[in-house]
Chains A and B, each alone.
Chain A
């Protein structure tokens, strides 16, 4: 399978715990995006990388959120001190330049 892959697919965590998600993009894609999707809404942009450089972050991305793409390949999204409002689907996508983005299947986070 050469598509975008995300791990884990589901995560249940207690409020206050830290969680980390991983995204492996399509190998030749230089851009990687993170989005968050809550029930009944479209995905909302969080941040994106071109190679290893984080070029833009949304105001939605509070200080508790951090994303990295250390070698310009896979990326991680960490949420510290999770809150119930963080419960959502976290989607990763990749693209080659400004071409269409291909999405992974997402990580569904539930904070209890």
Chain B
């Protein structure tokens, strides 16, 4: 079963507008972490924001915020005041507990390509 689902293959947003990128996840582990990464055309994965399953408040990092709805198992990324440089692939990921019993690998979704237009 797919553990991270990103249903939007592509999104367009006008410069200076806000955009929401959707992410739903599936886990039976009560303790988990959710991440968003940005991947520009250069290929490097850039960490944006993290939300822990026990965090009471939604995470925010500058123009990025994570809309965490635990009961719905969703962790949407909101980018405010979009800039041309935000055009990239965006991946949602979940950290699982590995066989060693510690939090280890990330499981990624298939990504959303965001295009910011003038």
Q: Which residues of A contact B (CB under 8 A)?
A: 31, 33, 35, 40-45, 48, 50, 55-56, 58, 89, 91, 93, 98, 100-106, 108
Contact = CB atoms under 8 A, between A and B. Distances in A.
A41 B40 CA distance: 14
A48 B103 CA distance: 11
Given A33-B105, A40-B110, A105 B44 contact: yes
B25 interface: no
Instruction: Determine the interface band of chain B, counting residues with CB < 8 A from chain A.
Output: 20 to 34
A55 B43 contact: no
A74 to B, nearest CB: 18
B95 A42 contact: no
B45 A103 contact: yes
Nearest to B105: A45
